[in-house]
Amino acid sequence: DFTYPLVGKKNLVTMEGKEWKMWRAIFNPGFASGHLMSLVGGMVSDTVCFTEILSDYAAKGNVFELEGAATRLTVDIIGNVVLDMALKTQTTENELLKAFRDQLQWMPLANDINLFRKYNPVKWFVYRANSKIMSRYLDRLLEQRFADRRGEEKANTKRSKPIIDLALDTYLEETGESGGSTLPLQFKRSAIDQFKTFLFAGHDTTSSTACFIIHLLSKHPAALEKVRQEHDEVYGTDTSKTAEAITKDPHSLNRLPYSLAVLKEVLRLFPPISTVRKGDPNILVHFDGKVYPTDGFMVWPVAYSMHRQPDLWPNAEEFIPERFLAKEGDPLFPPKGAWRPFEYGPRNCIGQELAYIELKIFMVLTLRDFDIRPAYEEQDRIDGQDRSTHTVNGDRAYQVLVATAKPVLGYPSRVTKRGKRQ
């Protein structure tokens, strides 16, 4: 229930039984890999805008929060692929993102011992106000998209459909309702909550992973060079032509096996989310020679710990992308069910294919044109604080839980442009 102020009550995360099955089926077609490939052009445009922002930071020489910049990129992409709407959060203030981020700040923190913050009665008024802002904003966008859709149907316009259009098609087919002149109320109410869910599950997780891709590659220059070489082989060395090449041939993103291996290894070491499960009388937990019941309890499978278990992952703390290129029988080959940043089974993350595509586009359009490095010491000097001892496994870039796992301090960074290559 703690997610309701953020994503509403009709969301795919907390729905159960037939209701969940129905709405998962309604949104599945839009998140299919084949359909998402038809929407790559919009994702590329949003990412090109992000690279222009990086160029500005490089010119100014400022320390900036990479996580914040990457978050605005992923929000723009979500608006584009789900609603076919340009939210423009990267270049303008956006009331939806502002209300959403504010709502996140009021969410309970993990292991929070500050009772005033935990039980502050003001937060319920803030929750309500932000929820109204988000719902009104999304209501307008949905009505606008419905009007645009009707106009396109009358004009017989042929174009790639955003996710919401495919969802509405499936909804009308499943319910037997006719596609009249107004957007079905039940669909709109659920669509508002689902969009907030996609925003919650997608914007933080993808932006966090983008930061840790940058971080781990900055610490492993040999791996970074392999990624850049792979991009050169697929797209050529003239990076000014890469965006157009991806747009013309979105399936070229599937010809990047090493980049995908890097992405999966980053998600192994820094999974941004995890889920909870309901206990069951037949499920027992065995630990340290003792057996514990789960019935009546909430069970939290912690991906971060599972992904670093030495009995499952050789050299578990090391960054080894080759794990995800290994053949079955190789000691590095990932055990079935051990890698679960998107969870596992029928309730796995509906947006995982979108995340793969977004992050591969991010890598291809940034890694050859920019050098990005962490700037934690500089951020300490700017803030007048000594945080040199704030490390996990000796690393300043560790995860903190604010609804999802984010890089601490937003991953303060410096960026420089790389020289042109022929």
pLDDT of residue 392: 94
Read off the pLDDT band of 180 (50, 70, 90).
low
Distance in angstroms (rounded) separating the CA atoms of residues 414 and 69: 13
pLDDT of residue 113: 61
pLDDT tens, 271-280? 988 777 888 9
pLDDT of residue 216: 97
pLDDT of residue 227: 98
Least confidently predicted of 5-19, 174-188, 313-327: 174-188
Read off the pLDDT band of 178 (50, 70, 90).
low
Quick count: other Cβ atoms within 10 Å of Cβ 149?
Answer: 20
The residues with which 285 forms a beta bridge, in sequence order, are 292
Distance in angstroms (rounded) separating the CA atoms of residues 274 and 389: 27
Burial 199-214 (b: 16+ CB within 10 A, else e): bbbbbbbbbbbbbbbb
pLDDT tens, 101-143? 888 777 765 555 666 666 677 878 888 898 889 888 888 888 8
Contact (CB, 8 A) for 77 and 43:
yes
Identity of residue 366: T
Instruction: Report the chain's mean pLDDT, rounded to a whole number.
Output: 88
**pLDDT surpassing 60 at residue 306:** yes
pLDDT tens, 84-98? 888 899 999 888 888
Q: Which region, left, alpha or beta, applies to residue 317 given φ > 0 means left and ψ of -120 to 50 means alpha?
A: alpha
CA 211 to centroid of chain Cα atoms: 11
**pLDDT surpassing 80 at residue 55:** yes
Contact (CB, 8 A) for 403 and 271:
no
Above pLDDT 90, what percent of the chain? Answer: 54
Distance in angstroms (rounded) separating the CA atoms of residues 306 and 274: 11
pLDDT of residue 421: 54
Q: Taking the complete model, does pTM exceed 0.75, yes or no? A: yes
pLDDT tens, 395-413? 999 998 876 788 999 999 9
Angle between helices 122-154 and 95-106 (to 10 degrees): 150
Distance in angstroms (rounded) separating the CA atoms of residues 171 and 396: 47
pLDDT of residue 102: 83
Residue 181: CB partners within 8 Å, gap ≥ 6? 150
Decide which of 316 and 184 is more confident. 316
Distance in angstroms (rounded) separating the CA atoms of residues 394 and 195: 38
**pLDDT surpassing 80 at residue 53:** yes
pLDDT of residue 254: 96
Residue 270 main-chain phi, psi, to 5 deg: -135, 65
